[in-house]
Structure 1
Amino acid sequence: MRENPAELISFQNMAFTDCMKPTDLSAERKGLMRKNWRNRIGFLLKSNSSHSILHLKRNRSYRPTADDVSQWAQSLDTLLSHKYGKAAFCIFLKSEFCEENIEFWTACEDYQTQTSHKELVSKANSIYEQFIKNEAPKEINLDFHTKNTITQCLHDPTTTSFLAAQRKVYSLMENNSYPRFIHSDLYRELCEVARGESKLIKS
């Protein structure tokens, strides 16, 4: 889920306090975004060929069930703990031009699993270069104190070096992006797909 569509290039060097709101975009751009996520969600949830709904039910490991999708509305933590839920949320964030938040959060989750100090140093610097430093390719919005604390510990990082920043980004997603996702057309479409009511699995 780390592709970089051409339409996002002009946004790569910007840090957002929150995602761009749909009302900030032209009708043409919104139409393009909807087509984009519909194609991606169709690829994510649809069988490799146009088999029947019965075939899809026999391959339940390939896509989430209606119960799975329903549970995603319980909390952001529940959503992110599910493989397809996280993938769908990534698609939604891309449509709002703020996928750097989930990518940073995911990078921090991976970072915390490292046991080698050499790997910690390498990954800490990689995360810093990609998300933290000024004008980073996918710079996230952090206050000066949090950013400065990370910078100072790069020479001797620990598994908690990015914890404060990760919590801030998680809170931002939880309070802003996540509620919009749950009330979005994309989530509604996901529910219909899971129940076998969407054209995405009937075509």
Structure 2
Amino acid sequence: MGQSLTIIGSERSARRKKQKADELGDTPTVSLTAASVTDLDNVTQHQIVYKKMEQLMDRMQDENIGLRVRTVNKFRAKVPSVFTGTDLIIWMMNNLDVDDQVEALYLANLLSSHGYLFPIDDHFLNVKNDGSYYRFQTPYYWPSNIFDPENTDYAVYLCKRTMQNKKRLELADYEAENLAKLQKVLSRKWEFVFLQAEAQSKVDKKRDRMERKVLDSQERAFWDVHRPMPGTIITTEIDYRKLKRYKDVTTLPNGDINNLLPIPPPIKIINKPTVESLKKDITAMRLKLDRRNIKLSKIADTYITYFEQYAEYDPFFTPPEISNPWLLDNIEVWDCEKHSSMFCYRKEVTVRRIKRWAFSLKELLADPAGKEHFTKFLEKEFSCENLKFWEAVQNLKKLPQREVPEAAQEIWTEYLSGDSLNIDSQSRELSRKNMSAPDRWAFDIAAVHVYHLMKSDSYQRYIRSEMYKEYLNTSKKKTSMKGIRSIVSFSGKRDICPS
């Protein structure tokens, strides 16, 4: 709405200026004609506003009749190329056909909101009729010359600001939040963003101090237009629905550009595909199939490592130690001791099972033989209470409801009432509160704490211990001896001849 008001107000002022010029013999000013627009096909609702504003900015920056720009001293520091808000309003009153200060202030705020001039000490692009300082934007950053910037450019700018140890360049709260969000979104190419920001920062340091101040403020104002602070309007947004309805530009008899007129949508002519076009499509599709579009992330690498580690224990890839009795006539699995674990406990433990104990504490405790061997190790180190307490808590969850209070009281009396179990005071106090109405999960927090202690301390010492290494080497020797005996017995049977 602000842009349409600007168009109407500017055209009204232009016509009044033209009438006065005809009376006084002066040249007309601030009027957008069809000749001033080089490419009418690309004219949009924004470009019409920008052209009129830029003609006004050219007059403001004229050396003879323009606004006086000067360098002032502020708190023992020089502030280059500035003018005050009062000077701007007075210039508009004297050089433009505006009725009062309110209209001049409205026009100045429109220029500031579009980024043609900006306050040097504020992110909010607003003009006040006082002694606050403002600065003209360089034509390079004018909206008509800049396409919509990408998030990567904004990330480079914010990252560069963090590298410069200047109080005036510190990030605002909303900018710091935007930087954190961009760092998550652009995590894959953040190294590139950082290198770009570092290179730009080095180039800025080589510039003159006064020139660097001006350029820093102009770049900040550019991003205040395209990435404004919360609560402000983005003036560079395009109404694409209106742009679809209005595509043509017509001229009035006096040469002014008329409002955009609607035209019917173009009729699309669909041609029949030829053999050559189909061959090109097939070639392009084959190239897409050969190209690898998925980037392997850390999660994918973790999954690959996991499956490579467990490939030896996957029955689809490696035959299991005990064959399936439903597929083969092998009753070995029924002869094993009855146990709920997937690995039945046997006196002879294979090397594959012992190697699996080193994967994690969970794998070690899931194997009855591994749990028994780990218990012997803890007994040697006088720290078996942790494992016994954790097993008691797991067994508590399997008991019938009527037996839970009595079993919970026994666990509390044996492990937690005294100092036999090494847990933190917070877990002990929570367990004490849960004992007022004991249930299956009364000691879950303490059990988790004990499990992490075993995982980070006892289990690591067990894997590095000589006890585990000797057990593994002994199993390897037994396996090799079995192979030798089977070969010897097989060869001996072949040498026996019937008498």
TM-score by length of 1: 0.63
Match of 1:151 among 432, 456, 463: 432
Cα distance in structure 2, aligned partners of 1:197 and 1:114: 40
Q: Moved runs in structure 1, 4+ residues, more than 6 A?
A: none
1:106-149 deviation per Cα after TM superposition (whole angstroms, max 9, x unaligned)? 11110111231x311011110001100124xxx21122221122
Match of 1:91 among 362, 367, 376: 376
Residue of structure 1 in register with 2:467 after alignment: 186
Match of 2:413 among 125, 129, 137: 129
Q: Percent identity among equivalent residues?
A: 28
Q: 1:112 to 1:147 in 2, by over 3 A?
A: same
The one-letter amino acid paired with 2:372 is A
Residues 16-27 of structure 1: matches in 2 within 5 Å? none
| 1:104 Cα deviation after fit | 0.6
Match of 2:388 among 72, 97, 103: 103
Local SS of the residue matching 2:358? coil
1:72-110 deviation per Cα after TM superposition (whole angstroms, max 9, x unaligned)? 000000000000000010011111110001111111110
Task: Count residues with an aligned counterpart.
Answer: 136
| 1:61 Cα deviation after fit | 2.7
| 1:67 Cα deviation after fit | 0.3
Residues 16-95 of structure 1: matches in 2 within 5 Å? 61-95=346-380
Cα distance in structure 2, aligned partners of 1:149 and 1:119: 22
Cα distance in structure 2, aligned partners of 1:101 and 1:179: 15
Cα distance in structure 1, aligned partners of 2:355 and 2:466: 14
Match of 1:172 among 453, 456, 470: 453
Cα distance in structure 2, aligned partners of 1:61 and 1:133: 37
Unpaired runs of 5+ in structure 1? 1-58, 199-203
| 1:197 Cα deviation after fit | 5.2
Residue of structure 1 in register with 2:403 after alignment: 119
Residue of structure 1 in register with 2:89 after alignment: none
Cα distance in structure 1, aligned partners of 2:393 and 2:474: 31
User: Are positions 1:196 and 2:477 aligned together?
Assistant: yes
| 1:171 Cα deviation after fit | 0.3
Q: Which has the higher contact order (CA 8 A, sep 6+)?
A: 1
Q: 1:124 to 1:143 in 2, by over 3 A?
A: same
Cα distance in structure 1, aligned partners of 2:346 and 2:428: 40
The one-letter amino acid paired with 1:196 is K
TM-score by length of 2: 0.26
1:17-63 deviation per Cα after TM superposition (whole angstroms, max 9, x unaligned)? xxxxxxxxxxxxxxxxxxxxxxxxxxxxxxxxxxxxxxxxxx98323
The one-letter amino acid paired with 2:418 is N
Q: Which has the larger radius of gyration?
A: 2
Contact conserved, 1:76 with 1:178, CA < 8 A, in 2?
Answer: yes
The one-letter amino acid paired with 1:77 is K
More strand by share: 2
More helix by share: 1
Local SS of the residue matching 2:477? coil
| 1:155 Cα deviation after fit | 3.5
Local SS of the residue matching 2:346? helix
